A and B are shown apart, each in its own frame.
Chain A
Amino acid sequence: MSDYIIELKNITKSFGNVNAVEGVSLQIKPGEVVGLIGDNGAGKSTLIKILSGVHPPDKGEIFVRGEKVSHWNAARSRLSGIETVYQDRALVIQQSITRNIFMGREIQRRFGFVDTKKQRQEANRLMRDIGFTSKVFDPDSPVATLSGGERQGVAIARALYFDAELIILDEPTTALSLTETRKVFSFIENVRARGKSIIFIGHNIYHVYDVAERFIVLDRGKIVLTSDKTEVSSAEYLIETMHDIAETGHAEIHA
């Protein structure tokens, strides 16, 4: 058994002329919260989509619990315990809340038929757990009838449901009110307390600094800095470092 839930080695991915990710290696340990930061277009979302199996990398290797995987895809990554809240939310808005929560991982009965009754009950319970009241929210109502923040709630609830070993959150707090943002943080604490890992992507460095215990800074597709929280004295310091990176393209941690 390996020390890492998932490990990337020398991953490269380009879209046409854009080298979105270039030679990235990283490891995620059980129970750690990693903050992934970087400018717009730095390649954060692309990197986590490689982790979650949405984009096949052009080059490089992926190891899950020490074993090299081939034909990595989104279904496999979910089955091996990785759930992702994507930046775009990955919702199908004409479909019901229930259908969205179970999309791709339906509760099945025989011959591929879906236990819609059980799914509905579970969705109802889950929505209540995260603060939707069943009086207002019916698990049968289409996601299109929800507000932006509510939709985000569905995406987060879905990641919670499957009891993943690693939860990836790509900017989970954009579009959320303060109360809702606080909910997301208490949810992260919860997940951490259960010994699961998290990758948190955010543009609000104060948020990232608060939740994460290790930071990875991405710049133009490359990792330019990896450091433990113990090496970074404050959020301001992290912001300062990010400015340096933007100007010089590299960074050092000054003691």
Chain B
Amino acid sequence: MSTQPVDQRVGRDEVHPLIKWMRNNRRVLTSAGFLFLMLIAFVIASPDVFTQFRTYRSVMIALPVSIFVVIPLVFVVTAGEIDLSFPAVVGMASYGFAAIVDAGGNPLLGIFAALAIGVVLGYLNGILVVHIGLSALVATLGMNFLLRGLINITVEGFSIAMPELRGTLVHSLMTDDPILGIPNQMLWATAFAILGLFLYNYHRFGIHVHCVGDHPGSAAEMGVNVARTRIMVFVFTGIGAALAGVFSVMINFVWWPTTGDGLLLPVLAGLFVGGTPTWGGIGTVLGGAFGVTIVSFIETGVIAAGLTGFFTQFFYGLIIIVSLIGQRFNGARVR
């Protein structure tokens, strides 16, 4: 509404639908474009490695673990929160799984146990942040140490090997590769990402997550249950971390007391490289998946290019900064 009759104004109308679509999806397009350019660069730098399917296959073995955590983290950050406890939740949930399998239990039962642990720990994070009012950053960081400490106290450094998983139906459903040699875990992770995409954009939960992260006061005034929405994003992260933990153990046949620890930095980097900004209210689920894919390829690319592992960190940093600069062109926070 304005003092001038609106229909006589020009300038904001008549954009082509494709341009509009690109504008609305510019964050995910940026990360997809970045992934594409990076792969081209790798193909040019080491064609004999990056034209081989097994290079991609090897990345697809462990990448799903990151995807299971990054998708719910997109929800968390969109809601204006953060969860740094996911590495230890991965560890705890997969410990539940491993303990049950090790004791001769059904792996399916182990999966349910892992999910239950994820839900409970996520809920606990939610209570600490939402009802007790602790800072999400500090509280979940504390939980990460606390849970990892509990694991170490309990197992005293021992890992659990589960060769008995091999050949079980659950294991082959989760990790075989009957379709074009693509590991099943990649298909599960893709399905999870698509589910996340629909939840995020078309489900009341995802829409409320956007509103709460954008302006919690406004959301509350319009009747959105802000507290419940905020707790649910932590529960969702717990679920994602549990799935990540189970897949990680299924892939390796071993549970280590450190399982999940290595995820912290690559997953956070992937999340932000993927185009979800830090301030809340907006984000992209597919971008998050692309982001962790970018990060996963860096190590492979560096080694394939004949550089030593020492370069990996340097390239992590470089690619994070460069892609964040790319995302910066998608705009700063509006107020």
Measured CB to CB, the residues of A under 8 A from B are 49, 52-54, 73-78, 84, 86, 88-95, 99, 103-106, 108, 111-114, 116, 130-133, 135-138, 140, 142, 144-145, 147, 149-150, 152-153, 176-180, 183
Inter-chain contact A176/B1, CB cutoff 8 Å: yes
- In the assembly, what is the distance between CA of A77 and CA of B222, in Å? 10
Inter-chain contact B210/A74, CB cutoff 8 Å: no
Contacts of A150 in B (CB 8 A): 1-2
Inter-chain contact A144/B334, CB cutoff 8 Å: yes
A110 to chain B, nearest CB (A): 11
A186 to chain B, nearest CB (A): 13
Inter-chain contact B6/A132, CB cutoff 8 Å: yes
Contacts of B2 in A (CB 8 A): 147, 149-150, 177, 180
* 7 extra A-B contacts, CB within 8 A, seeds A54-B220, A92-B281: A49-B221, A73-B223, A92-B210, A93-B335, A113-B203, A114-B203, A114-B204
- In the assembly, what is the distance between CA of A113 and CA of B203, in Å? 4
Contacts of A132 in B (CB 8 A): 1, 6
Contacts of B333 in A (CB 8 A): 94
Inter-chain contact B221/A92, CB cutoff 8 Å: no
Contacts of A104 in B (CB 8 A): 211, 219, 222-224
Q: Does B105 belong to the interface (CB within 8 Å)? A: no
Contacts of A112 in B (CB 8 A): 203-205
Given the interface pairs A54-B220, A136-B12, A136-B13, the reply to whether A180 lies near B207 with Cβ below 8 Å is: no
B64 to chain A, nearest CB (A): 25
- In the assembly, what is the distance between CA of A16 and CA of B261, in Å? 44
- In the assembly, what is the distance between CA of A135 and CA of B225, in Å? 35
Q: Does B202 belong to the interface (CB within 8 Å)? A: yes
Q: Does B7 belong to the interface (CB within 8 Å)? A: yes
Interface string of B262-291 (1 = CB under 8 A from A): 000000000000000000011000000000
Q: Does B14 belong to the interface (CB within 8 Å)? A: yes
B144 to chain A, nearest CB (A): 29
Inter-chain contact A99/B210, CB cutoff 8 Å: yes
Q: Does B198 belong to the interface (CB within 8 Å)? A: yes
Q: Does B52 belong to the interface (CB within 8 Å)? A: no
- In the assembly, what is the distance between CA of A254 and CA of B89, in Å? 71
Q: Which of B12, B20, B282 has the most C-beta atoms of chain A within 10 angstroms of its own C-beta?
A: B12
A81 to chain B, nearest CB (A): 13
- In the assembly, what is the distance between CA of A53 and CA of B281, in Å? 24
Within 8 A of A (CB), among B1-18: 1-3, 6-7, 9, 12-14
Contacts of B24 in A (CB 8 A): 140
Smallest CB gap from B15: residue in A: A138
Inter-chain contact A92/B203, CB cutoff 8 Å: no
Contacts of B220 in A (CB 8 A): 54, 74
Within 8 A of A (CB), among B196-220: 198, 201-205, 207, 210-211, 214-215, 217-220
Smallest CB gap from A177: residue in B: B3
Contacts of A178 in B (CB 8 A): 3
Given the interface pairs A73-B223, A92-B281, the reply to whether A114 lies near B202 with Cβ below 8 Å is: yes
Given the interface pairs A114-B207, A133-B7, the reply to whether A103 lies near B334 with Cβ below 8 Å is: no
- In the assembly, what is the distance between CA of A219 and CA of B219, in Å? 29
- In the assembly, what is the distance between CA of A123 and CA of B14, in Å? 19
- In the assembly, what is the distance between CA of A130 and CA of B219, in Å? 23
Contacts of B7 in A (CB 8 A): 133, 135-136
Smallest CB gap from B204: residue in A: A112
- In the assembly, what is the distance between CA of A159 and CA of B114, in Å? 45
- In the assembly, what is the distance between CA of A94 and CA of B333, in Å? 9
In the complex, which of the residues B13, B202, B281 contacts A116, with contact meaning CB atoms closer than 8 Å?
B202
